[in-house]
Structure 1
Amino acid sequence: MRHGPGDPAWRHTPDGAFWRTCATPDGPGTLRVAVADGRVTGAAWGPGAGWLLETLPALLGEDDDVSGFVPEHEVVRRAAKRHEGLRIGRTFRVFESLVPAVLEQKVVSEEGWRAWRWLLYRYGEPAPGPAPEGMRVFPGPEVCRSIPSWDWHRAGAEAVRARTIVNAARYAARLEAAGDSAATDLLLRALPGIGVWTSAEVRQRSHGDADALSVGDYHLSSLVGWALTGRRTDDAGMLRLLAPYLGHRHRVSRLLRSDGERPPARGPRARVRDYRSF
């Protein structure tokens, strides 16, 4: 759920606890999750505290259904055994997952993460309760619609991504009420500026969709191809390789990201753009 180092909506503190803020249907909330003596415990603050505790099991993957997942490649078997506790959790918050996904479209990850941090520090409200210093709550669709063009520019989001977010904010209520992952996918991709990759990135988080594969990702197809065949491939090749895992393709990509051997880097790294004005 974290969007880069320094994400104002996410912290991992030295005591081992994980903190997350959320703009819940009941209002802003802060959640603290910790593990002690083999037990997971949660505490929450703010108007959204009750909602956060009620949905905590789903956030931790209680609804994740692994039936039908049968590793057919040795590398997938090894990764599944090494990470057998992996669960695909869900947040139930579509628009809150959409904004950072749009900010990360077609840019170096650090560029999207920087824009997310800037917007939360500028427009998010302080996290309720005894949250770590600097944590912020996502400002929500109405605030996103009111952000002026110059502040999108200061965040580092050019006009295309800014328009995509502002337009999607008009349909935020419909997105939250769309229903299952398939229905949400159809509604998301009907909106200008939202394609297969963005929809998958959203539904992986909002719905815990274990099959929502990030087709179009800059690195993923090469990683999957290298891990499963020792050769790079493209999106079409990745889809062929992952066809035996239909229903669990995102799960497999998560396992390979965590455990697979990455292809050797070639050529210069893409540079982080910075055209902001202050």
Structure 2
Amino acid sequence: MTVASTLEPDAPDVVWQPQGPFDLGQTLGILPRGGADRTIMLAGSVAWLGFGTPTGAATIRLTVTSSGVGTQGAGKQAVTARAWGPGAAPALASVPALLGAGDDWTSFDHPDFQATLPRLVTQARRRNRAVRLPATGRMVDAIIPAVLEQKVTMKEARHGFRYLVQKFGSPAPGAQVNGPVPAGLMVAPTAEQWARIPSWDWHEAGVGPQRSATVMRVTRVASSLERLSALSASEAAVKLQTIPGIGIWTAAEVTQRTHGDADAISVGDYHLAAFVGRALTGLPVDDAGMCELLEPWRGHRQRVVRMLGLSGFRKPAFGPRMTIQDHRRH
């Protein structure tokens, strides 16, 4: 990924120093909606994000550097954030939370708590001390992709999201050939832009009427939804579920990203319960069984799930597959 750096950013750089180990890719890895998501690009120690803010669109470049020797003998890390666009200042203000500054693993890492965890989880944690849970604070940007992923295959959902972003979003500020930002980086549509998408484009994206109707309901209360970022994750999840079409799965998928929710688990996910069951007991379970298995670690259930995902465990690849629906034929 080669870009020029001659153009000045639109706000002074922000430098954030993590306390303890930090891995940019592992921390932000939950945010992209597949490898073809053009609103975020991760490449080693550099990340590019394009998104909207109350003052307009912004591009952020995050660069991790190491210098000197830290107190534990490891390199001392710093993350430099540079931003372009009319939303540069609020975008930079969101950087510490985005990088997991508010994510505290202290009680999870306490020896007494660790003693209650399965070896698979504790071993994964020892290997992945640098992962943090990001908190974007951007509600609509998290809600709409989650709605598009309801009850369809990941491949279908991600195709639909990419199609709609490419057609109705906008190039990230500075995104141009030989510009300061990689060509192809995009900003997802605003709530107003989502609301204006015609029915035939929803069909072309493979998005059925039930999901597109939910998106329309979200756009009508977008300003109120953005205020949910100031609430606790649990309060925000409850309020999200007052919108028809948003249930417990969607709410969890949102607060995991907007609030860095350490406890939310995606009940209703097509694969998660079976994965958790096989990882912890060797047998598949349903959602109720997954919740029962994770209950002893309430408050940290998302952390447990993340560690299971990073453990290297893979459940056997057999069983029914979800059929991809082609809504463009109707």
Q: TM tier, shorter chain?
A: over 0.9
* Counterpart residue type for residue 163 of structure 2: W
Correspondence for 1:29 among 58, 69, 77: 58
Contact 1:223 1:260 in 2 (8 A): no
1:41 is aligned, of 72, 75, 80, to 80
Matched, 1:152 2:202: yes
TM-fit CA distance, 1:249: 0.7
Tell me which structure has the larger Cα radius of gyration.
2
Scaled by the length of structure 1, what TM-score is found? 0.95
Q: What secondary structure sits across from 1:47 in the alignment? A: coil
RMSD: 1.6
- Give the AA of the match of 1:192: P
Identity of aligned residues (%): 45
Deviation by residue 1:160-209 (Cα, 9 ceiling, x = unmatched): 00000011111111111132222211221011111000000001011111
Between the aligned partners of 2:224 and 2:82, the Cα distance in structure 1 is 30
Structure 1 residue 138 corresponds to structure 2 residue 206: no
Partner of 1:229: 281
The 10-residue stretch of structure 1 (170-179 or 189-198) with the greater mean CA deviation from structure 2: 170-179
Q: Which runs of 4+ in 1 moved over 6 A?
A: none
CA distance in 2, matches of 1:114, 1:134: 16
Between the aligned partners of 1:132 and 1:104, the Cα distance in structure 2 is 27
Q: Which moved more, 1:38-47 or 1:199-208?
A: 38-47
Pick from 94, 107, 110: which aligns with 2:155? 110
What does residue 263 of structure 2 align with?
211
Question: Which digits, 9 at most, give the CA deviation of each residue in 1:80-101, with x for residues without a partner?
Answer: 1111111101000011100100
Inter-partner Cα distance in structure 2 for 1:105 and 1:260? 26
Cα pair distance change 1:268/1:238, threshold 3 Å: closer
1:33 and 1:40 in contact (8 A); partners too: yes
> 1:194 corresponds to which residue?
246
Runs of 5+ consecutive residues of structure 2 not aligned to the other structure: 1-30, 67-76, 175-179
CA distance in 2 between counterparts of 1:123 and 1:160 reads 20
Kindly indicate whether the alpha-carbon contact (under 8 Å) linking 1:11 and 1:132 is maintained by their aligned counterparts in 2. Answer: no
Is the Cα contact below 8 Å between 2:207 and 2:327 reproduced in 1?
no
**Structure-2 separation of matches of 1:68 and 1:243:** 16
Query: With structure 2 as the length reference, what TM-score do the two structures score?
Result: 0.80
Q: How far is the alpha carbon of 1:240 from its aligned partner?
A: 1.1
Residue deviations 1:131-169 (CA, integer Å, cap 9, x gap): 212121111111111111111111111100000001111
Distance of 1:253 and 1:140 partners within structure 2 = 31
- DSSP-derived class of the 2:215 partner: helix
Residue 3 (structure 1) aligned with residue 24 (structure 2): no
